[in-house]
Amino acid sequence: FRFKDSLAEELQSADLVISHAGAGSCLETLEKGKPLIVVINDKLMDNHQLELAKQLHRDGYVLYCNCSTLVEMLQSMNLSALKPFPPGQPEKFASFLDKVFGLQ
């Protein structure tokens, strides 16, 4: 894709999403309840994408690979093993900030 303001429409109609392991891309896809394969770009800033992908994989939410193993992943993937991503709870973060700033 070229840059788009939103991928909401594409995500809504997708059966499977293959994405880089950026936090925004991962969370937006998982919040839509779509199965996700994240493809690591290990040349980026100390390989931070691998850290996020590994944790989301350990938690059972995504599959991950790199460019050279993507075809193998597609051939062997078991999407039914993925767990649904729990909904966000922004009120918990707001409550934390209220406590930190003495508003509660």
Domain boundaries, the chain: 7-95
pLDDT of res. 32: 94
Q: Find the farthest-apart pair of alpha carbons in the chain and give their distance in angstroms, rounded.
A: 53
Contact 22, 78 (CB under 8 A): no
pTM of the model: 0.81
Chain center to CA of 91: 21
What's domain 7-95's architecture? 3-Layer(aba) Sandwich (3.40)
Q: How far apart are CA 3 and CA 32, in angstroms?
A: 20
Beta-carbon contacts of residue 56 (< 8 Å; ≥ 6 apart):
26, 30, 38, 62, 64
Task: Answer for the pair 30, 51: CB distance below 8 angstroms, yes or no.
Answer: no
Which among 63, 58, 54, 2 has a CA at the least distance from the CA of 29?
Answer: 63
Cβ(53)–Cβ(1) under 8 Å?
A: no
Residue 2 host element (H or E): none
pLDDT tens-digit profile, the chain (104 residues) = 678 888 889 999 999 999 998 899 999 999 999 999 999 987 766 777 888 999 999 999 999 999 999 999 999 999 999 999 998 888 888 898 999 998 87
> For residue 43, what pLDDT is reported?
73
